[in-house]
Amino acid sequence: MFNCDEHAAYSACALAFRDRLILEWNRTQQRQTYADSKRLYYLSLEFLMGRALDNAMLNIGQKDVAKAGLAELGFRIEDIIEQEHDAALGNGGLGRLAACFLDSLASLNLPAWGYGLRYRYGIFKQEIIDGYQVEVPDYWLDFNPWEFPRHDVTVDIQFYGHVNRSQGASGKTTAHWEGGEMVRAVAFDVPIPGYATTTTNNLRLWSSKAASGEFDFQKFNSGDYESSVADQQRAETISAVLYPNDNLDRGKELRLKQQYFWVAASLYDIVRRFKKSKRAWSEFPEQVAIQLNDTHPTLAIVELQRILVDLEGLEWDDAWNIVVNTFGYTNHTVLPEALEKWSVGLFQHLLPRHLQIIYDINLFFLQSVERAFPNDRELLARVSIIEESQPKMVRMAFLAIVGSHKVNGVAELHSDLIKTTIFKDFVSIFGPDKFTNVTNGITPRRWLHQANPRLSDLIASKVGGNDFLTDLTKLNGIELFVNDKQFRKEWAEIKHANKIRLANLIKETSGVIVNPSSLFDVQVKRIHEYKRQQLNIFGVIHRYLTLKAMSPEERQKQLPRVSIFGGKAAPGYWMAKQIIHLINSVGGVVNNDKEIGDLLKVVFVEDYNVSKAEIITPASDISEHISTAGTEASGTSNMKFVLNGGLIIGTCDGANIEITREVGENNIFLFGNLAEDVEDLRHAHTYGSHTIDPDLAKVFAAIEEGMFGSTEDFSGMITAVRDHGDFYLVSDDFHSYIETQALVDEAYRDQEEWVTKCITSVSRMGFFSSDRCISEYAEGIWNIEPLHVERDA
Ligand code: 26Y
């Protein structure tokens, strides 16, 4: 055979499965068009898909065939799968949730499309150099067999310009948005195969290019070559790069351009499809449901109103009824710094007609509030879509609420919090029924079957096959085997094998050698002060100091632990970068301390992404979900870790609370202050005396003595806690955290009991399937039903 290397084998394999997908994809789309039933459109600026080949093989049910075929050619299937570049078009939780949702929508045979942007550069690749994060561009499109350019599907999108009004024969004035510049949106389609079904849905990603084609020929011919290329590049810039901020709004003009570009192209597409059915406009919400993944696509509300009023000539109120009944809005955060606002001036410049429509939406909304709550000027100011600040700002979350028929949070606590804090006034105005909860979920296909095949097979052998992968509540069948010796033994062996696999990854990527028999303690997620990686690393330092203070005999009795961190910091987030640096500096000292040996290792896994998560998640003994109570809307990795037979140390926050309800209080390690007490504690820091926990003070002293190198670099992290109000309550929770970590050690020593806790927990995780979650959306918000696609005989 001529030179067929691993990459060539990957291409061959991907192209073969892709052919199969194309067939089912075409059939699904034809069937959906023919049935003409209601469809869901999921608008998300982020889809954190990870790799596609393994998922495609498993969903089609042909992985074994591929494995045998590749083996015949002398390849290991794992090596071939690893050739693929992650599709990393997202930052973290919100983007990965969108990917899990696509998997569930297809697996449940629901007619649904995703709409997003085809970024040329996904989330940056993280390198750790001298302990610091360095960002490297992620150019992922070299060879991507999973996308299909649709040069026949394009939309020209307008920006800037001005608005003219004219009076028609009927005396009605219409607005005309004129002038400005055009950018062309080109569709790229990605097939989304369901698991064990022929349904293959579509994810449509838009790419930008100059509307005039390759060059502006007029400029080109008049000799202005450079500027014609510059125009082309300017247009392509729109879809060039994913903004790497997670839960942090920076208000950049290009980001607003991205949002409008994507929203306008998607709506044009959706409306075009609806118009083919020749139905009355009033039927639009019976055919179309659009879900807004956070406020990033909120402009869709304004754009649909514009299409209906300006272009299709509907009356304002009729159009508005259609709009509100079409949209649903999911909120993913209560953090004020993540709530999107755009200045009125920027809107006026970029989208002049949309600003007018927003003002009108706001006017009619405020009038209705005024009627219901007369003489409450403060209420009007509080709920106005326009914030009367300097400069004036458009509050996107308020616009999303006013323009949607349902608003949901992503875990019970979070949904309660938005109703009682940031959106309180809107509950009074619209009534409580508009606000609801849909607790997040994860797809068991990727996060159990694919990431942890041995555990998945062991479970299947006890619950009567793979049906649990489509009905995760069937997991409870394994509780019967919790005392079965052989089952427990295999269970423990699988965890150990997964830990060896992670130990190998750690060795390859960071050079640190860890003992797989140690307790693996994992915190992997975006680096953010509210997620409190600083609490974790301060705890690690405390452990190190405690070990150092022990006699050798006492030390020998301690339980060996590996603290594993991973996650990216937004490039402009200075404090998050300092946290990464401290973790690496602590690792540098601890890992080389001969006295300590295997008792404590500290590793930072560079470039945490979906594919690394698939290796890390199944290898965890205890994972950390330790956000300040009330700050983490849900969390989804908490679900993944427990589903893979790991336990959790966590605060009473987000979905941790519901996980506790399901698995039982004895099977989770909760600590720290409650959300309801956070406000008072913060108040006390600012106005009362703020005492630092004495153990934490010792940790600070060690850092300040230079135990981990440059004290300057870490002083910001210390003063944030000690001198600047400790907004995230690190000091308040430190003692409780340390005590609870001691309980973890104690529990882990009793391996029999530990395994019982793990098996029991997994058996009770059925609730957290994204299938359950998507079914709740389908029934309670979208009103859509499954559509089965027949397989050819
Ligand atoms: C405004 C903009 C810069 C922005 C960009 C990304 C704002 C927010 C985000 C991302 C938010 C996010 O990922 N939120 C997470 O959503 C998950 C899925 O619901 C939750 O599990 C998680 O708690 C929440 O932080």
Of 121-130, 229-238, 450-459, 601-610, the least confident: 229-238
The answer to whether 419 is a known catalytic residue is: no
Residues in the chain: 793
- Residue 617 Cα, ligand 1 centroid: separation in angstroms? 20
- pLDDT, position 534: 98
620 and 561 housed in the same domain = yes
Check: CB of residue 114 under 8 Å from CB of residue 202.
yes
C-alpha dist (Å) from residue 552 to 593, 594, 599? 14, 12, 12
- Residue 340 Cα, ligand 1 centroid: separation in angstroms? 12
> Which sign does the torsion angle of CA 461, 462, 467, 470 carry?
negative
Of 138-152, 226-240, 279-293, the least confident: 226-240
593 and 469 housed in the same domain = yes
Identity of residue 384? S
Mean pLDDT calculated for residue range 568-585: 98
The answer to whether 67 is a known catalytic residue is: no
Measuring CA to CA, which residue among 541, 593, 531 is closest to residue 566? 531
434 in any annotated domain: yes
788 in any annotated domain: no
Mean pLDDT calculated for residue range 537-560: 98
Confidence of residue 793 (pLDDT cuts 50, 70, 90): very low
> What are the tokens at 502?
């992670």
Q: How many Å apart are CA 198 and CA 327, to the nearest integer?
A: 28
Query: How does pLDDT run across 29-85, given as a tens digit for each residue?
Result: 999 999 999 999 999 999 999 999 999 999 999 999 999 999 999 999 999 999 999
Confidence of residue 18 (pLDDT cuts 50, 70, 90): very high
445 in any annotated domain: no
Task: Specify which residues 332 forms β-bridges with.
Answer: none
Query: How does pLDDT run across 159-182, given as a tens digit for each residue?
Result: 999 999 998 888 888 999 999 999
Q: What is the DSSP letter of 471?
A: S
- pLDDT, position 217: 61
> What are the tokens at 496?
């150990």
429 and 536 housed in the same domain = no
757 in any annotated domain: yes
C-alpha dist (Å) from residue 419 to 424, 427, 428, 678? 5, 6, 10, 17
Q: How many Å apart are CA 448 and CA 475, to the nearest integer?
A: 12
C-alpha dist (Å) from residue 191 to 102, 453, 485? 10, 24, 43
Q: How many Å apart are CA 33 and CA 12, to the nearest integer?
A: 32
448 in any annotated domain: no
Please give all residues whose beta carbon lies within 6 A of any atom in ligand 1, as ranges. 91-94, 97, 243, 245-249, 294, 332-333, 338, 340, 410, 440, 632-636, 654
Counting residues of the chain whose pLDDT is more than 90, the rounded percentage is 93
Query: How does pLDDT run across 380-420, given as a tens digit for each residue?
Result: 999 999 999 999 999 999 999 999 999 999 999 999 999 99
Number of folded domains that form the chain: 3
Q: What is the DSSP letter of 728?
A: T
761 and 737 housed in the same domain = yes
Task: Kindly report the CATH number assigned to the domain that includes residue 705.
Answer: 3.40.50.2000
What are phi and psi for residue 290, nearest 5 degrees?
Answer: -120, 125
Mutation choice for ligand 1 from 94, 610, 628, CB with most ligand atoms inside 8 A: 94
Confidence of residue 711 (pLDDT cuts 50, 70, 90): confident
Of 2-16, 124-138, 319-333, 409-423, the least confident: 2-16
Check: CB of residue 57 under 8 Å from CB of residue 17.
yes
548 and 496 housed in the same domain = yes
Q: How many Å apart are CA 174 and CA 169, to the nearest integer?
A: 11
Q: What is the DSSP letter of 585?
A: H
175 in any annotated domain: yes
Q: How many Å apart are CA 634 and CA 273, to the nearest integer?
A: 35
Enumerate helices (H) and strands (E) in the chain, giving the number of each.
32, 24
385 and 470 housed in the same domain = no
- pLDDT, position 744: 98
- Residue 93 Cα, ligand 1 centroid: separation in angstroms? 6
Catalytic member of 38, 51, 120, 332: 332
Query: How does pLDDT run across 196-216, given as a tens digit for each residue?
Result: 999 999 999 999 999 975 555
- pLDDT, position 248: 87
Interface predicted TM-score (ipTM) of this complex, two decimals:
0.98
Residue 523 has pLDDT above 50, yes or no: yes
- Residue 242 Cα, ligand 1 centroid: separation in angstroms? 14
Which atom of ligand 1 has the smallest separation from the CA of 96?
18
Tokens 């909304």 belong to which residue?
365
Question: Residues 6 or more apart from 258 whose CB is under 8 A from it?
Answer: 45, 117, 238, 239, 243
Question: Residues 6 or more apart from 96 whose CB is under 8 A from it?
Answer: 48, 90, 610, 636
Mean pLDDT calculated for residue range 440-459: 98
Check: CB of residue 708 under 8 Å from CB of residue 588.
yes
Closest C-alpha to ligand 1, atom 8:
247
Chain CA centroid to CA 260, Å: 21
Confidence of residue 789 (pLDDT cuts 50, 70, 90): confident
The answer to whether 531 is a known catalytic residue is: yes
Closest C-alpha to ligand 1, atom 3:
249
The answer to whether 636 is a known catalytic residue is: yes
> What are the tokens at 82?
């690893």
Expressed as residue numbers, the domain containing 510 is 453-768
547 and 418 housed in the same domain = no
Check: CB of residue 242 under 8 Å from CB of residue 121.
yes
Mutation choice for ligand 1 from 256, 332, 408, CB with most ligand atoms inside 8 A: 332
H-helix or E-strand spanning residue 564: strand 561-566
139 and 286 housed in the same domain = yes
- Residue 332 Cα, ligand 1 centroid: separation in angstroms? 5
446 in any annotated domain: no
76 and 196 housed in the same domain = no
Which atom of ligand 1 has the smallest separation from the CA of 330?
19
684 in any annotated domain: yes
352 and 424 housed in the same domain = yes
* Residue-wise DSSP of 717-764: HHHHHHTS--TT-HHHHHHHHHHHHHHHHHHHH-HHHHHHHHHHHHHT
- pLDDT, position 220: 63
Mean pLDDT calculated for residue range 436-456: 98
Q: How many Å apart are CA 353 and CA 311, to the nearest integer?
A: 12
C-alpha dist (Å) from residue 244 to 47, 340, 655? 13, 15, 25
734 and 706 housed in the same domain = yes
- pLDDT, position 792: 57
> What are the tokens at 421?
């804090």
Neighbour count for residue 556 (Cβ, 10 Å): 9
CA gyration radius, the chain: 27
Mean pLDDT calculated for residue range 443-464: 98
Check: CB of residue 298 under 8 Å from CB of residue 292.
yes
Mutation choice for ligand 1 from 101, 241, 298, 333, CB with most ligand atoms inside 8 A: 333
The answer to whether 640 is a known catalytic residue is: yes
Per-residue H/E/C for 639-670:
HHHHHCCCEEEECCCCCHHHHHHHHCHHHCEE
Identity of residue 626? I
User: Mean pLDDT over all residues of the chain?
Assistant: 96
362 and 469 housed in the same domain = no
Tokens 């994507």 belong to which residue?
262
Task: Specify which residues 178 forms β-bridges with.
Answer: 162
Q: How many Å apart are CA 478 and CA 460, to the nearest integer?
A: 9
Residue 734 has pLDDT above 90, yes or no: yes
Residue 391, preceding peptide bond in cis (omega within 30° of 0):
yes
- Residue 418 Cα, ligand 1 centroid: separation in angstroms? 15
Identity of residue 735? H
Q: How many Å apart are CA 482 and CA 498, to the nearest integer?
A: 20
Query: How does pLDDT run across 334-384, given as a tens digit for each residue?
Result: 999 999 999 999 999 999 999 999 999 999 999 999 999 999 999 999 999
Chain CA centroid to CA 479, Å: 31
The β-bridge relationship of strands 622-625 and 647-650 is parallel
